A and B are shown apart, each in its own frame.
Chain A
Amino acid sequence: MNLPGSQPARQQPTSGVAAAAAGSAAAAPAGSPEAAQATEQVGGQSGGRSLDPHLRRYAQRAAGMRASEVRALFAVASRPEVVSLAGGMPNLAALPLDTLATDVAELVATEGQSVLQYGSAHGLPALREQICDVMALEGISAHADDVVVTVGSQMALDMVTRVFCDPGDVVLAEAPSYVGALSTFSAYQAEVVHVTMDDEGLQPEALRQALDTLAGQGRRVKFLYTIPNFHNPGGVTLAVRRRAEILDICARHGVLVIEDNPYGLLGFSDQTYPALRSMEADNVVYLGSFSKTFASGLRVGWALAPHAVREKLVLATESATLCPPAFNQAIVSRYLARYDWQGQIKQFRAAYRERRDAMLAALDQHLPPGCSWTKPDGGFYVWLTVPEGLDTKAMLPRAVTQRVAYVPGTAFYAAGFGSRQMRLSYCYPTPERIREGVRRLASALEAEQELLHTFGARSAGGGRPEVAGGQSPSPDTA
Chain B
Amino acid sequence: MTDRFVAVLSGGLSHEREVSVRSGRRLSAALRSAGLTVAEWDADGGLLPRLREERPDAVVVALHGGEGENGSIQSVLEMLGVPFVGTDPRACRRAWDKPTAKAELDRVGLATPDWVALPHSTFRELGAQAVLDALVERLGLPLMLKPDQGGSALGAQVVRDATELPAAMVGCLAYADTVLAERFVEGVEVAVAVVEGPDGPRALPAVEIVPESGIYDYDARYTAGLTTYHAPARLNEGTATAVGELAVAAHRLLGLRDVSRTDAIVAPDGRVYFLEVNVSPGLTETSLLPMAVEAAGHSLGQVYAGLVERAVSRAADR
Using CB atoms and an 8 Å cutoff, list the residues of chain A in contact with chain B: 24-25, 27-39, 41-42, 45, 47-52, 54-55, 66-69, 71-73, 75-76, 79, 81-82, 391, 394-398, 400-401, 403, 448, 450-464
The interface size of chain B toward A, counting residues with CB under 8 Å, comes to 73
Contact partners of A459 in chain B: CB under 8 A = 167, 170-171, 174
Given A79-B17, A451-B120; A460-B171 close (CB under 8 Å)? yes
Minimum C-beta distance from A391 to chain B (A): 8
Contact partners of B286 in chain A: CB under 8 A = 51
B275 nearest CB neighbor, chain A only: A34
**Contact residue among B223, B230, B275 (Cβ-Cβ distance under 8 Å from A47):** B230
A76 near B13 (CB under 8 angstroms)? yes
B-side interface mostly: mixed
Given A42-B234, A49-B228, A52-B224; A460-B18 close (CB under 8 Å)? no
Contact partners of A24 in chain B: CB under 8 A = 212-213, 226
Contact partners of A401 in chain B: CB under 8 A = 15, 175
Contact partners of A36 in chain B: CB under 8 A = 158, 186, 214-215
- A401 CA / B12 CA spacing, docked (Å): 12
A-B contact pairs, 12 of them (CB 8 A): A31-B220, A32-B153, A33-B156, A33-B184, A33-B215, A36-B158, A49-B228, A66-B226, A79-B11, A79-B17, A395-B174, A462-B171
- A45 CA / B230 CA spacing, docked (Å): 9
- A401 CA / B263 CA spacing, docked (Å): 26
- A413 CA / B164 CA spacing, docked (Å): 25
A30 near B229 (CB under 8 angstroms)? no
A31 near B216 (CB under 8 angstroms)? yes
**Contact residue among A81, A448, A453, A457 (Cβ-Cβ distance under 8 Å from B174):** A448
Given A31-B218, A394-B170; A75-B18 close (CB under 8 Å)? yes
- A462 CA / B171 CA spacing, docked (Å): 7
- A55 CA / B222 CA spacing, docked (Å): 14
- A194 CA / B215 CA spacing, docked (Å): 31
Whether B106 is near chain A, meaning CB under 8 Å from some CB there, is no
Given A33-B215, A454-B124; A397-B169 close (CB under 8 Å)? no
Whether B248 is near chain A, meaning CB under 8 Å from some CB there, is no
The 6 closest A-B pairs by CB, nearest first: A31-B217, A52-B225, A457-B166, A75-B18, A33-B158, A37-B186
**Contact residue among A37, A71, A462, A463 (Cβ-Cβ distance under 8 Å from B187):** A37
A41 near B120 (CB under 8 angstroms)? no
Whether B168 is near chain A, meaning CB under 8 Å from some CB there, is yes
Contact partners of A68 in chain B: CB under 8 A = 218-219
Whether B249 is near chain A, meaning CB under 8 Å from some CB there, is no
B188 near A28 (CB under 8 angstroms)? no
**Contact residue among B13, B128, B210, B225 (Cβ-Cβ distance under 8 Å from A35):** B210
**Contact residue among A45, A79, A456, A464 (Cβ-Cβ distance under 8 Å from B228):** A45
B158 nearest CB neighbor, chain A only: A33
Contact partners of B146 in chain A: CB under 8 A = 32
Minimum C-beta distance from B308 to chain A (A): 27
Whether B173 is near chain A, meaning CB under 8 Å from some CB there, is yes
Tell me which residues from 137 to 162 in chain B have a Cβ below 8 Å from any Cβ of chain A: 142, 144, 146, 152-158
Contact partners of B168 in chain A: CB under 8 A = 460
Contact partners of A28 in chain B: CB under 8 A = 158, 213-215
A32 near B174 (CB under 8 angstroms)? no
Whether B211 is near chain A, meaning CB under 8 Å from some CB there, is yes
A39 nearest CB neighbor, chain B only: B214
**Contact residue among A31, A54, A75 (Cβ-Cβ distance under 8 Å from B215):** A31
A49 near B187 (CB under 8 angstroms)? no
